[in-house]
A and B are shown apart, each in its own frame.
Chain A
Amino acid sequence: MTTIVPPPAPADPGATSTDAGDIAVEIQTGWKLTLREFARNKLALLGVGILVFFVLFCFVGPFVYHTNQVATNLLNTDQPPGNGPLGTDSNGFDVLGRLMLGGQTSLEIGLLAAVIATVIGTLWGAVAGLLGGLVDAAMMRVVDILLSLPFLLVVLIVAHRYGSNVWNLSLILGVFSWLVPARLVRGEVLTLRVRDFVSAARVMGGSRTRLIFRHLIPNAMGTVIVNITFQIADAILALAALGFLNFGVHYPHTDWGSQIADAADNLSNGYWWLVFPVGIALVLVVMAFNLIGDGLRDAVDVRLRKR
């Protein structure tokens, strides 16, 4: 019987050439199974479709649909569709073009923040899980303490102190979002560290660093990948909250949260073109990441696969 440890394990450079060849076969099988399972999930594919659409919309769209998103036009503010496909906002910017620009920021910050959070969380969880004992207890209490802090409040204070640009916001959101991945990875590592291949690596003199980077993290990658999709969605929503509260990026940049804040100001004025497009875009992108995450989780977890 062949047992594939979920998720599919990457090659172990420390293994013998024969072993490596066997594992490579296993990996191919594992990825195929994962992809096949993922492809069967229609909602996950819908998520991918939506995401691809918005990536193209935000990053390729401006090359097709040219608008001036730098010079304001106060003589043409808050105009309904007809003055541009989706009208203009309170600064006279074309709303469709603004949506593309804001989407770029939201996707970039979402991805960057998720990567930062995942890297920190994965390392923290792996170290805590591998070392165990007092070190594990101390590290996880740090996580518990940080989890007890109100996330948004802390992020607001730091964002206000250090200013709002793409890099700062990515860093701020990432640095305060690594706690959940840390817990997840620690849980994975706690089960992995007692496995034979880890014991074997230990016996062969593998250092802790090697164990973490060559054996534990690669084998926890399924959990990490699934989590990263949810992290992106959460970061985009957190950014939207920051933008809504006026702590998002400022001119000449914009983000969907700031646009929603502008929309909220105009909700009762009846300027629907400022409300729906950005609201729908945000909901769809977050939904897409969640659908993809759900699909990936079902695909990499053998217990959730349809047999």
Chain B
Amino acid sequence: MSRNQRAIGGIALLAASALALTACSGSSSHKKIGVGSDYAYGTVPAASSSVKPGGTLNIAEDVGADPNWIFPVVPGANYSVYTALQFENLSWPQLYAQTKGADPEIDYSHSLTAAAPTVSNGGKTFTIKLNGQYTWPDGSKVSANDVLFFYYLLKAAVKESPANGFNYVPGQFPDNVTSASAVDDQTVQFTFDKAYNPQWVLNSELVQLTPIPAKAWAKSSDNGSTLDFTKPDNAKAIYDYLSKESKNLSTYASNPLWQVTDGAYKLKSYNTSTGAASFTANPKYTGEGKTNIQTVNMLSYTSPTAEFNDLLSGKLDFGYVKSDNWPQLGRLQSKNYVTFGEPSFGFHYIYFNFKDGSNNFDKAISQLYVRQAFAHLQDEQGEIKGAFDGLGVPQYGPVGVAPKSPFAPANALTNPYPYSIDTAKKLLSDHGWKVVPNGTTTCQNPGTGATQCGAGITKGQSLNFVLYYASGVKSEEQMITAFASQLKQVGINANIKTDTFNNVIQNENVQSSPKNDNNWGMAAFGGETEGDYPTNGILFGTGASQNQGGFADPQIDKLSNDSIMSSDPQALQKELAAETNDLPAIFQPSEEYIYAWNPKLSGAKDSFAAATQFYLYPQDWYFTK
């Protein structure tokens, strides 16, 4: 056969393959779907009484968000809800489970304490009584000492580097604790330096605690002796040792440290290349629920469609359905798969890099009018319809339209910066910029006057910048492309770059990767979950560990502080209103988190609803006969 004939043969084969693939695919019907007025999609069926013990549950890890940290003191660069709530939480449940079903309130049935802490000493002392229900493999109860152990290690971690505590804000937990002590084996007490808002203390500070096994882990080497972790030097040595072990991904399944668990499942295997993990039921589990399911496999995927195909084929028992595959939800439903979704309590955003000195972009976005112009170029309704097929909820600030928060300010419920290219143009041209649609807008009138560009902005400077986003999710790509398209219409050119979720949270982060400060102007990896008391000092406070873009505003710092210090609920509303107005980021609409599961998988309704808030409770699930 000559080369020509081979070529034609190959082409014919390709064409035939493509035709066959498409022929095998679903129908080409193109319909838009949507949610009800409560923004929920579908319903969770009632729990079946027909329990079939045992079995293997295959669930999906989120694309590009493979867990890469096992030690519950998680650095900011490694933190994600997937690592903390879907990987570590299976082995070391948090002291407080922060969502009850999909509602933003503490779920005491999945917590290690039965009630909110008691407050005394003029609002400074918080006493936590453990429920005594959880035990370590040696049969001993999870104790007050285990709670203190976490506290002292966190203290050592953030002293070493603020970036070592994912939730750390300088001056807040654990800095603001003046004393921590065990009242008895099951009671632990924290005294703070001031009287804070009790809701804030519980929902922002104490929720960071995860009891960890002091008896097994309080050492600084594999065969080291048990150290007194209350001594700072010892705590540092222990933290360094455990942190080093956590970086060693290849030993996750074999390291005896990680087998000392009080959670429902413990790690059996971990794939260092993909992040796929397998958990086996903890035979000595004494906590909430019952480990009817023997094995939980967390499978890793490189694309939502690959994961969706495994759902369709039945390989996965429980998995997400991303926007890429929403047009095919009907195919799952026709196989009797249960489909349910709700937006998460939190927000999605594209955050600015206020330290991007390239092209003076930091100076430009320090001007509120520039950020407002950007916000006016965000077409949320279009994105909900086009990128989410209607399965989304508007988000104008740190608290969204749904799930509803009692603290939501008025400007977070109606768009303060409605989509308008003309308004964006006017904002720029009123401040000395020559707007060139589809060209390059430049500053023509530098200076600090009311009609000038602003401090530090030079004549001829453009607003062009690098925009990173986490690849792998079609809707994110659509929203980013749409945003770049709107920017272009006022002469702002976004140079779009992509990276994985984990790389974006690590590299496009002024806290963990200052060397990259001048390499990016905006970035999006998805969004944040919020606590039940959604103050955002940790995200937008000056120098806070999760302040990825380096936003700094004394007024926001003050309002965040007021939210913390005052018991007046208006204080938090004022902070949220200011953040909505001040735009430390461009808030994006939030998509529904839709999950689908095998019709033979059943369990408590709340445990399935909690998955939309990223909590996994396989100990509440079982296969039916």
- Interface residues of A, Cβ cutoff 8 Å to B: 43, 70-80, 90-92, 160, 163-164, 246, 250-252, 264-272, 275-276, 279-280, 283, 287, 290-291, 294
- Residues on B with beta carbons closer than 8 Å to the beta carbon of A72: 478, 481-482, 485-486
Collect the chain B residues with CB atoms within 8 Å of residue A266's CB. 324
Binds A, one of B21-29, B74-82, B157-165, B232-240: B21-29
Cβ A268 vs Cβ B305 within 8 A: yes
Distance to closest chain B CB from A139 (angstroms) = 29
Distance (whole angstroms) from the CB of A107 to the closest CB of chain B? 19
Contact with A along B448-483 (1 / 0, CB 8 A): 000000000000000000000001001001100110
Contact A275 B22 (CB under 8 A): yes
- Beta-carbon nearest neighbor of A262 in chain B: B474
Interface size class of B (residues with CB under 8 A): 35 or more
Contact of B498 among A79, A250, A294 (CB under 8 A): A250
Distance between Cα atoms of A74 and B305 in the complex (Å): 21
**CB distance A265 to B305 under 8 Å?**
yes
CA distance A93 to B618 in the complex (A): 43
Q: Other CB < 8 Å A-B pairs besides A91-B478, A268-B309, A294-B4, 16 of them?
A: A70-B488, A71-B485, A72-B482, A74-B379, A74-B478, A75-B385, A77-B478, A78-B30, A78-B327, A265-B303, A265-B474, A268-B305, A275-B22, A283-B11, A291-B4, A294-B2
Please, which residues of chain B bring their CB within 8 A of the CB of A268? Answer: 25-26, 305, 308-309, 325, 328
Taken together as a complex, chains A and B put the C-alpha atoms of A297 and B44 apart, in Å, by 66
Decide if A272 touches B22 in the complex (CB within 8 Å).
yes
What residues of chain A lie closer than 8 Å to B4, measured between beta carbons?
43, 291, 294
Q: Does B7 touch A at the CB level, under 8 Å?
A: yes
Q: Is the CB of A290 within 8 A of B327?
A: no
Tell me the bound Cα distance from A78 to B389 in angstroms.
Answer: 11
20 A-B contacts (beta carbon < 8 Å): A71-B486, A72-B482, A72-B485, A74-B379, A74-B386, A90-B474, A163-B497, A251-B484, A265-B474, A267-B22, A267-B305, A268-B308, A268-B309, A269-B25, A269-B327, A270-B22, A272-B28, A279-B14, A283-B14, A294-B2
Residues of B within 8 A of A271 (CB): 28, 30
Can you name the residue of chain A whose Cβ is closest to the Cβ of B303? A265
10 pairs of A and B residues whose beta carbons are closest in the complex = A74-B386, A270-B28, A74-B382, A250-B496, A72-B485, A77-B386, A72-B482, A269-B327, A268-B25, A270-B26
Q: How far is the CA of A30 from the CA of B23 in the complex (A)?
A: 51
- In the complex, the answer to whether B18 meets A275 with C-beta atoms within 8 Å is yes
* Min distance, Cβ A59 to any Cβ of chain B, angstroms: 20
Q: At the interface, yes or no: B48 with Cβ under 8 Å from chain A?
A: no
| Least distance between A298 CB and chain B CB atoms (Å) | 10
- Selected contact of B438 from candidates A70, A77, A250, CB within 8 Å: A70
Contacts of A43 in B (CB 8 A): 4
Instruction: Flag if A283 contacts B481 (CB, 8 Å).
Output: no
With A and B bound together, what is the CA distance between A264 and B305 in angstroms? 9
B278 CB to closest chain A CB, in angstroms? 28
Question: CB of B436 within 8 A of chain A?
Answer: no
Is B15 an interface position by the 8 A CB rule?
yes
CB contacts (< 8 Å) of B328 on chain A: these are 268-269
Is the Cβ of A290 less than 8 Å from the Cβ of B7? yes
- Within the complex, the shortest CB–CB distance from A211 to chain B, in Å, comes to 33
Which residues of chain B are within 8 angstroms of A276 by Cβ–Cβ distance? 18, 22
B513 at the A interface (CB under 8 A): no
Q: Mark B362-402, 1 if CB is under 8 A from A, else 0.
A: 00000000000000000100110111000000000000000
Query: Does residue B489 face the partner (Cβ distance < 8 Å to A)?
Result: yes
Residues of A close to B478: CB separation below 8 A? 72, 74, 77, 90-91
Interface presence of B495 (CB below 8 A): yes
Q: What CA separation (Å) do A291 and B8 show in the bound complex?
A: 10
When distances are taken between beta carbons in the complex, the residues of chain B under 8 Å from A163 are: 495, 497
Residues of chain A within 8 A (CB-CB) of B22 are 267, 270, 272, 275-276
A74 near B28 with CB under 8 A, answer no
